[in-house]
Structure 1
Amino acid sequence: MDVSCAFPTDLDSPDNIALAERLGYHRAWVYDTPQQSPDVWMTLALAAQRTERIGMGPGVLVPSLRHPMVNATATATLSALAPGRVAVAFGTGFTGRRAMGYGAISWAFMESYIRTYRALLRGEVVEWEGARMQMLHPDGHAPARPIDVPVLISALGPKGNKIANELGDGLFTTLQLPDFIADHSWAAYLAWGTVLDEGEDDDSEHARSAGGPGWALSFHSAYEFGGPDAVLALPGGEEWLSVVEETPRDQRHLAVHAGHCVELNAADQAAWRAGGSTTLQDVTLSGRRDRVRSLLEDYSSRGVTEVVFQPCGSNVQAELERFLDAAEPVVSKGDT
């Protein structure tokens, strides 16, 4: 199992990707969340210029945010800057859409989009929105077509898995491990958490800053997919919901997703203080070194071929190093 990392795209991400390369990480993924992040493609281009070996790519792109020609051209550009190192993952849009008040895109749209995107990279003439088009880049404007870049699909259910099997080169999952993950030769799993020191409590300041943003996803996803009742079933859920519901209903998604994967927002902090921190090890890849290693061994046995760890908190290097130390007996690194 390869060990990779992910970053919620920010102005430090190019330097953090270079750091991950020096530490030995296999690949770095960055998020397509324009409502809270700088542009994912600009960030990756800067990272490509600061690195030599590490794989990289957007994980995950939300198709509705860009025309397929725009993503195809951006992919071609990054492939020229980092030849042989680029992979692309697509998803239906959790934070990338829901934080702007939209629902997820349909799998029918996803299928059409990826077919078009991949055909463009092959140099074919495609039809999109009733018009015929093709990548017309002359020499010096993009690599010659076809441009072969692996594509992963983020899927948790049968519809997404069908498209991943038909159109993708692998699976990109998070929050849960579907049974069909073992059917894919490339199965990346995105996880948040932190390696705790011996004797460190789950509600320590380090646990809150480094593990808390991933822990908060249990509230964000419960609310988005199960509604208020699902949140109330969580420790600290009543306190979390009371803060969110102070915001007008048509802007409530802003209160839910503020700080997503970066820091605890006001509702998250209220839940943490109310005892929600007791679930940290249940909902994230957190715990003492031996526990994290045991979880990684379980992931590998269930079919995960690439674990993708997102560090949080003020000391990214320390979190990346802690995770590598815990993962060392289980995973391969670097150019393996």
Structure 2
Amino acid sequence: MEVSCAFPTALDSPDNIVMAEELGYRRAWVYDTPQQSPDVWMTLALAAERTERIGLAPGVLVPSLRHPMVNAAATATLAALAPGRVAVSFGTGFTGRRAMGYRAITWSYMESYIRAYRGLLQGRVVEWEGAQMQMLHPGGHAPTRPVDVPILIGALGPKGHRVAKELGDGLYVTLQLPEFASEYSWVPYLVWGTVFDEGERTDTEHARQAAGPGWALAYHGAYEFGGASAVRALPGGPEWLDVVERTPPERRHLAVHSGHCVELGEADQAAWKAGGHTMVPDVTMSGTPARIRQRLAEAAARGVTEIVFQPCGPDIRAELERFLDAATT
């Protein structure tokens, strides 16, 4: 299994990607979350100029955020800066849409978008929104078409599975691992967590800072996909809801996604203090080195070919080192 990393796009992400390359990570994925992040393409371009080996990829692009021509041109630019190191993945929009109050895009839209995007990179004339268009970049403005970049698709259900099988080069997975993952030859699996010392409890400050942001996704996801009743069933769920529901419904998504993937928001902190931290080993890739290796073996048996670890907390290098050591020893 390849060991890669991910970063919630930030101003220091190029520095962290350089660090990840030095440590030996295979690929760096960064998020397309404009409501809380710098631009994903600018960040990857800066990283491309400072690295030589590590793969570079947006994980995941949300189609509704950009015209397919814009993403095609950005992809071609990054491919020119980092030849042979670029992959892209697309998703229907968890943080990239729900944190702005929208629902996920439809799979019919995703399918049309990827067909147009792929056609543009191949140099074909495509139709989008009733207009005929083509990448017209002359020499020196983009690589010669076709621009061959692997395209992965984030899917959890049958509709996404069909689109991924038909149009994708792999399956990008987060939140949960679908049964059909074993049908793909390339399956990056995005995880959060931390490596515990022997005997370390789930309520330590290290656990809170390093595993907490990933743990909090259990509440964010439960609320978005299952509603208040799903959250109420979790340890600390009622306390989490008490905070979130202080916000008017039309702005509630702002309270839900505050600190998403980076730090604990107010609601997350309330759930943690109420005992929610006990879920850390279950909802994140956290545990002793031996437990991490066991979990990775289980993921591999279910079809995962690339583990993608997002470090959190004040010491990113230490988290990257600890996880890589656990995963490869």
User: TM bucket by the smaller chain?
Assistant: over 0.9
In 2, Cα distance between the equivalents of 1:301 and 1:226? 28
Shift, 1:306, TM fit? 0.4
SS for the counterpart of 2:312 is coil
1:7 is matched with which residue? 7
In 2, Cα distance between the equivalents of 1:284 and 1:302? 17
1:141-186 residue CA offsets vs partner (Å, 9 max, x unmatched): 0000000000000001111011111000000001111111000000
Shift, 1:199, TM fit? 1.7
Percent sequence identity over aligned pairs:
74
2:288 is matched with which residue? 288
In 2, Cα distance between the equivalents of 1:126 and 1:166? 18
In 2, Cα distance between the equivalents of 1:33 and 1:53? 25
Aligned Cα RMSD in Å? 0.5
Shift, 1:220, TM fit? 0.0
In 2, Cα distance between the equivalents of 1:94 and 1:175? 10
In 2, Cα distance between the equivalents of 1:85 and 1:161? 25
Which one-letter code corresponds to 1:52 in the other structure? E
Q: In the TM superposition, what are the counterparts of 1:180-259 in structure 2 within 5 Å?
A: 180-259=180-259
1:333 is matched with which residue? none
2:55 is matched with which residue? 55
SS for the counterpart of 1:153 is strand
Which one-letter code corresponds to 1:276 in the other structure? G
1:80-128 residue CA offsets vs partner (Å, 9 max, x unmatched): 0000000000000001000000000000000000000000000000110
Shift, 1:18, TM fit? 0.6
Q: TM-score, normalised by structure 1?
A: 0.97
Q: Structure 1 runs of 4+ off > 3 angstroms? A: none
Which one-letter code corresponds to 1:305 in the other structure? T
SS for the counterpart of 1:296 is helix
Which segments of 5 or more consecutive residues in structure 2 lack a partner in the other structure? none
In 1, Cα distance between the equivalents of 2:258 and 2:50? 30
Q: Is 1:103 matched up with 2:103?
A: yes
1:334 is matched with which residue? none
1:233-273 residue CA offsets vs partner (Å, 9 max, x unmatched): 00000000000001111000000001000000000000000
In 1, Cα distance between the equivalents of 2:63 and 2:89? 10
SS for the counterpart of 2:314 is coil
1:159 is matched with which residue? 159
In 2, Cα distance between the equivalents of 1:130 and 1:86? 30
Which one-letter code corresponds to 2:87 in the other structure? A
Which segments of 5 or more consecutive residues in structure 1 lack a partner in the other structure? 330-336
Q: TM-score, normalised by structure 2?
A: 1.00
Which one-letter code corresponds to 1:291 in the other structure? R
1:127 is matched with which residue? 127
2:112 is matched with which residue? 112
SS for the counterpart of 1:174 is coil
In 1, Cα distance between the equivalents of 2:255 and 2:41? 27
In 1, Cα distance between the equivalents of 2:273 and 2:160? 37
Which one-letter code corresponds to 1:150 in the other structure? P
In 1, Cα distance between the equivalents of 2:114 and 2:57? 16
Which one-letter code corresponds to 1:180 in the other structure? F
In 1, Cα distance between the equivalents of 2:93 and 2:312? 21
In 2, Cα distance between the equivalents of 1:194 and 1:116? 39
Shift, 1:29, TM fit? 0.2
Q: In the TM superposition, what are the counterparts of 1:15-164 in structure 2 within 5 Å?
A: 15-164=15-164
In 1, Cα distance between the equivalents of 2:141 and 2:223? 45
Which one-letter code corresponds to 1:29 in the other structure? W
In 2, Cα distance between the equivalents of 1:105 and 1:81? 30
In 2, Cα distance between the equivalents of 1:131 and 1:174? 34
Which one-letter code corresponds to 2:146 in the other structure? P
Shift, 1:289, TM fit? 1.0
In 2, Cα distance between the equivalents of 1:206 and 1:110? 39
In 1, Cα distance between the equivalents of 2:5 and 2:159? 27
Which one-letter code corresponds to 1:224 in the other structure? E
Higher relative contact order (CA 8 A, sep 6+): 1
In 1, Cα distance between the equivalents of 2:175 and 2:74? 28
Which one-letter code corresponds to 2:156 in the other structure? L
- Residues paired across the two proteins, number: 329
Shift, 1:34, TM fit? 0.1
1:19-63 residue CA offsets vs partner (Å, 9 max, x unmatched): 000000000000000000000000000000010000011000000
Shift, 1:198, TM fit? 1.1
